[in-house]
């Protein structure tokens, strides 16, 4: 079993197959600090990370702005230099698909909806769902 390459890889997986933390972007992002954090992920053995815009991201940076994409590119380039993977998570907090409210602001008809199951007790002779 020890000679089986799959067994060995499972027992000691390469970093790119290990845990990848969500990296919450919820402050006023600064280039030097971002590079430091990418390097810290690498130093701690993470094979990559998932940048995730959250509530609290500064107005100076904003979500899906030129500044946001410039900083994202910076983080991705540093990760590539270190041999790390980056999962681009296309979500700006919740609800899913809202792009931090931009979707509904563009067109209110695109606002998220849901179906809610209602359970009713029906007495008497009745048929249906």
pLDDT recorded at residue 95: 67
- For residues 86-100, one letter each, b for 16 or more C-beta atoms within 10 angstroms of the residue's C-beta and e for the rest, the string is beeeeebbeeeebbb
H/E/C letters for each residue in 110-124?
HCCCCCCCCCCCCCC
Asked if 38 and 84 touch (Cβ cutoff 8 Å), the reply is: yes
Domains and CATH numbers, the chain: 13-110 (3.30.750)
Q: Which two tokens stand for residue 96?
A: 């899913």
pLDDT tens for each residue of 65-104 = 999 999 999 999 999 999 999 998 877 766 677 777 788 8
For residue range 32-61, list pLDDT tens digits in order. 999 999 999 999 999 999 999 888 889 999
Give CA–CA dist 75/21, Å, rounded: 14
Q: Where are the alpha helices (DSSP H) in the chain?
A: 5-11, 31-43, 66-81, 102-106
Which are the contacts of 71, defined by CB distance < 8 A and separation ≥ 6? Answer: 29, 31, 34, 61
CA-closest candidate to residue 84, choices 17, 25, 30, 28: 17
Going 70 to 71 to 72 to 76, the CA torsion angle's sign is: positive
Tell me, yes or no, if the pTM score tops 0.75: no
């Amino acid at each position: 079993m020890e000679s089986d390459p799959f067994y060995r890889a499972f027992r000691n997986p390469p970093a790119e197959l290990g845990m990848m933390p969500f990296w919450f972007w919820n402050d006023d992002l600064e280039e030097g600090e971002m590079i430091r954090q990418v390097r810290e992920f690498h130093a701690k053995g993470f094979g990559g990370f998932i940048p995730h815009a959250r509530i609290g991201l500064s107005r100076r940076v904003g979500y899906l702005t030129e500044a946001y994409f410039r900083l994202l590119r910076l983080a991705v380039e540093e990760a590539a230099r270190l041999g790390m993977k980056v999962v681009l998570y296309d979500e700006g907090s919740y609800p899913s698909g809202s792009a931090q409210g931009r979707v509904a602001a563009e067109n209110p008809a695109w606002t998220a909806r849901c179906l809610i199951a209602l359970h009713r007790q029906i007495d008497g002779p009745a048929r249906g769902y």
